[in-house]
Chains A and B, each alone.
Chain A
Amino acid sequence: MIPAPFAYERPTTVDEALQAIAAGGEDVKILAGGQSLIPVMRLRLAAPETVVDLTRVTELRGVREEGDVLVIGAMTTHHDVITDPLIAQHAPLIAEATETVADRQVRHRGTFGGALAHADPAGDLPAVALALDAEFVLAGPNGRRTVGASDFFVDYLTTALEEGELLVEIRVPKLTGSWGVRYEKFNRVAQAWSIVAVAAAVRRENGHIAEARIGLTNMGPTPLRARATEAALAGAAVTAEAIADAARSAAEGTSPSSDLNAQADYREHLAQVLTRRAVSAAAGL
């Protein structure tokens, strides 16, 4: 299908982009990679008045280090995330999860920031950002502000981004120490969204699990942390039994939906199984 008509703006800087958003009228959509927005527009689920295309805002692309933090430009494509040496070194969980997003063509266009700002609960990256305690830098007419991941994802397809604001970069604390990571994705066909997925990062110390961070994909309207499991794993022995015990509480506090691929109770079960697998792998079992 053909999208409905819209006005098109193509800024080259963040300031221009903010002006274009401000001037764009009632219904402005920000086009990052467009790999979700354009299909939605083709299906006429969205018919924005103005589309602000960030493709030429080069300052939003790329990955850099700032001390203990990795700064990922919102317009860095999935492909560039996967091949970035800094991410491979300091945030391999992001690369691992990004490799499972859609297909190579989509990964060439789709962007890290776009996927996070879209906040699709079945998308793979929000749970990873949540697990890594990422921070989101939002630019607006009145300057910039930083929001933690736990505050960024507000509801189904809804984030802390206010009208007129733009996600410009994502700050990811480097994992230091003896961390292992794993993204366990469960879907029925290769290019599909996650039915459920689990992002796990586990730090081992003296033969025990010192800290585990677990993000859940598609277990509710927003990505979630498996807090009960994380708590149970803190200080636990690195054994299959201890991890399995802890993983049983992975679905606590979740509210998954029911659809063609899974009803809620099955999603809850999958969260437990996948958490066990992800944590085991991340812990080196």
Chain B
Amino acid sequence: MDPSEAEFLAEKETITIIPNFSLDKVFLIGGDLGPFNPGLPVDVPVWFALNLKQRQKCRIVPPAWMDVEKLEEMRDLERREGAFTPVPSPFYMELSKLLLNYASDNIPKADEIRTLVKDIWDTRIAKLRLSADRFISQMEAHARLDNLTLMEINTIRSFLLDSLNCMYRLRSNLQPGSSKDRADY
């Protein structure tokens, strides 16, 4: 999967905005939006919030977890724990990236948040690499991956799955009869 597709899915999450215009309810196929009144917060999907932001028609309220103290806590926990800790949003990476790129003026301490999210991401990816290594060296057939997000899975997907397939093919050639010959092509 392309990272942009993970971002596409992240854009479906809802976020609070404070519009500076007024508009009646909009009846979209995927649900209703609005009504919009200047100064009154309203929940909309991220793709719409970013579009309004780019047209300077709203202020984005950053999600509650996008806060220096909370993220610091998370980073420390992530470093202490051996397993993956629960993330505040299944799209934390994509959302931080989108919001920090397009609405950094609405986010207090945007630079610190950027660094913290990157730290959390790095710690998690390091864990992910370690566990992938263990998975392969112990030749496991099943792994549980709670708390991993789509983007994290994505970074390792093609590499891990292709190597597992290759190893499977090599192994099934070593054990004749255990699987039918795949060298057809």
Partners in one complex: no
